[in-house]
Amino acid sequence: MPSLTHAEARARAELLTVRSYRVELDLTRGADRFGSTSTIRFGCTRPGTDTFAELRGTLRRATLNGRELDPTLVGNRLPLPDLAADNELVVVADGDYSHTGEGLHRFVDPADGSAYVYAMSFLDCAQNIFCCFDQPDLKAPVTLAVTVPEEWTVLANERGARIDARRWEFTETRPIATYMTTVCAGPYVSRYREHDGIRLGWHARASLAEPLAAASDELLELTARCFDAYHALFGVRYGFGDTYDQVFVPEFNAGAMENPGCVTHRDELLYRSAVTDAELETRAAIVAHEMAHMWFGDLVTMRWWDDLWLNESFATYLSYRVLPAASRYTDAWAGFAGQNKLAGYAADQSSWTHPVAPDEVADADSALVNFDQISYPKGASVLRQLAAWLGDEAFLAGLRDHFARHSYGNATLADLVDSLAAASGRDVAGWARQWLRTAGTNRLSLSTVDGQVGVRQQGVHGAPLRSHRIGIGAYRLSGGALVRDQRVEVEIDGGYTEVPGLAGDADLVLPNDGDLTFATVRLAEPAMRDLPRLLPAAADPLTRALLWTVAWDATRAADLPPGAFVDLVAAAVPGEASATLSTTMLANARNLVADRYLDPARRPAALATLAGTCRTMLADAAPGSGRQLAALRTLVSCLTEPIELAALLAGDLPAGAVLDAELRWRLVRRLVVLGAAGAAEIDAELARDNTGQGAVHATGCRAALPGAAAKQAAWRSMMHDETLTNRHLEALARGFWQPEQSALTAPYVERYFADILPATADRSGELAGRLAGWSFPGYAVSAGTVAAAEALLARDDLAAGVRRALATGRDELRIALAARSA
């Protein structure tokens, strides 16, 4: 089916004004299909002109201004000939339920047999549910009516009510884009609280009632305090009625989706087992992120997908800005710097990097691949630099002006630049050309010439040099603590900038102190060599995050040998107080350095070192704490002796640790990978945990079985079974490849490059890209695997998502090969 192009969207936006949608859905027609009736009222600036609406489904009947239309779709397009000045389009259709997290997704909970439905209309999947003009700048009010089984509850963008035993009707929304429409239906359980005139609701399926009850006080309080923070920042109240629901939904592709008035979250975020502090902080950041979208994305919406950064970069930046005041995560910026931003640096140094705000995105399919670590953490970091450069007062004044001009409408980069320039008097357009229209990362380092300290800037992989406002901190070791003696803020430009008055004899001089800009850093010697001594001595979590960032970026760039990073983790993680920093660095050392960056012959020693690090953490961790859990989880992944894993599974745990479902599955999977557990043990564990998440874990374990028949069955399902849900497909792919089984899976490296294009040919753009990435043979670190990927990338017929996945896999293999040579 053709993807809507930017040119087509512009032409249709110039032609049409959509006045309203009325959508009626019938969810009582069985397990496979639903009914959909759309009534669209719209104006046309040039009567007599033709256009089209979009629908993916079976068209039963369509009338335009009372006259019957040919009930034949051209792909996903319904031709609309001879428009009048004022038009009414009525479309009756049947739709297919999705199992891929796109459109109207239906899930049957194995815990109790109950069915649940939710709508995911993003990016252009509203047309999977109802006929519409599926582009972001044709916003209109939506009125929804839904027919469901009697025992179901229905939630949507606005407040609704049960009209009779099976029918629900909802208040008309404010103008929203089609991709923001949602409905959630099923026997959901709910928790409510009133705050500042807004009814706050959290909802989950019935089998998750207990974890919902346990988390609801924290979630409702977080939501309330985030509303207070955003109202204070923007001076503009939440603009979508008097209700704000958040629904945990199954088999969700993203972390969450910002449907105004009814945000959907993946239900793995409703933790049913013990949880680490890092996971709780991540969940809080997601909640705050989606709430920020009520302003950036929903109240003011990008005109086209080239400005998706106006949604995602702002929501990411604002979520971490409000978390320290709105939650107990007062060091949220440190977690962002040491986790999210690392992903941004990696993406921006890849072969597929792109500007935060590209000049053009040709079509909707191309837009999908830009929902990445450039548009999220890099964009957020760039906005933090913008606030530092403009000054916070001018920055916020510009945002408020932006809302005043464009509420319930659409805007572009140029519109935001106008508001910020008017508020600050600075050349924001020139700043945007540097930071938003160009790609690539700058690297900052120190240089001392005749006792004068200066900052050198270079462009990584040829990136253009930019102007930066940064902090520079001078630190000394005193009594075992790293103390900041001096800090200056300067604006740097070009390849070299002198910094007068900065001491050059400190134990550590840190460029980008305070993390105000987006640039990687290299320390002067001997500070780089002294990281194992300096990093644990830093009391400030943001300073430690920056030092961890230096070490990790240097490892990926082959400037620091991978074994040295393992040694740094062993020296510094046991004393790392930040849960996010400690878990991120342990994961990087375990999953990337040990499994990919080190020569396989050195992997056992690295795993032993990391296991020892985890045992040190366990000895010091408080019983039952998130720190204990994080160390225990990593220990499980590092153990190579089945007898130790079996003892843990039998309950021989540290005091305070709980052998819950999630920990049991980790132990079973590790035993499966090592060949010490098989199909019988997997089946027994699934019988113990007969839930949706248990079924996904079992699928991943079966794919990890170290036998030729098991691998063949997993590969066949992964590449050919299009009935699998998105979550089970991911579990198969992630379970299949294991470093311990490299000899067994070696023949499948070549098969991947032969099979992946046929396997993705008939899947949606989003799922095709995900499958290509999930199943890429990332552990097969060799020049041959790189060459095979490059040969496939040379084709000119690859779907955008598949191309991105292949390029990412190829780039990561190159990094691993370079690291091994270091």
**CATH 3.30.450.40, applies to 295-536:** no
What SS3 class is residue 80? strand
Residue 211 has pLDDT above 80, yes or no: yes
pLDDT at 266: 97
- Euclidean distance between CA atoms 295 and 343, whole angstroms: 25
What is the model's pLDDT at position 764?
Answer: 85
* CB 500 within 8 Å of CB 506: no
Question: Thinking of the domain 6-187, which architecture would CATH place it in?
Answer: Sandwich (2.60)
Angle at Cα 550 formed by Cα 544 and Cα 553, nearest 5°?
135
Mean pLDDT of the chain: 96
What's the rounded mean pLDDT across residues 227-244?
A: 97
Looking at the predicted structure, is the pLDDT value of residue 399 above 90? yes
Confidence of residue 453 (pLDDT cuts 50, 70, 90): confident
Torsion of CA 810, 812, 817, 821, to 10 degrees: 150
**Length of the chain, in residues:** 822
DSSP type of residue 515:
-
Six-digit token string for 609: 């070192």
What SS3 state is found at 91?
strand
Q: Residue 342: which H helix or E strand, with range? A: helix 341-348
Q: How confident is the model at residue 2 (pLDDT cuts 50, 70, 90)?
A: confident
> Which residue did the predictor score with more confidence, 505 or 11?
11
The overall pTM is greater than 0.95: yes
Distance CA 747, CA 738 (A): 14
* Domain spans, the chain: 6-187, 295-536
Q: Over range 278-292, report the average pLDDT.
A: 98
Beta carbons of 472 and 487 less than 8 angstroms apart: yes
How does pLDDT run across 788-807, given as a tens digit for each residue? 999 999 999 999 999 999 99
**Which token pair is 178?**
């089609």
Confidence at 504, pLDDT banded by 50, 70, 90: low
- 519: pLDDT strictly greater than 90: yes
Element (H, E) at 156: strand 153-156
Max Cα–Cα distance, the chain, nearest Å: 85
Structure tokens at 272: 């049913």
In whole angstroms, what is the distance from residue 298 CA to residue 238 CA? 10
Handedness of CA 404, 405, 407, 413 (dihedral sign): negative
pLDDT in tens, 563-606: 999 999 999 999 999 999 999 999 999 999 999 999 999 999 99
pLDDT at 426 over 80: yes
Instruction: Assess whether 491 carries a catalytic annotation.
Output: no
622-639 pLDDT tens trace? 999 999 999 999 999 999
Q: Looking at the DSSP assignment, which residues form a beta bridge with residue 488? A: 472
Judge if 6-187 and 295-536 fold alike in CATH terms. Answer: no
Catalytic residue among 54, 281, 290, 662: 290
Q: How far apart are CA 137 and CA 160, in angstroms?
A: 26
Q: In this model, does residue 448 exceed pLDDT 80?
A: no
Q: What angle do CA 472, 588, 638 make, to 5 degrees?
A: 145
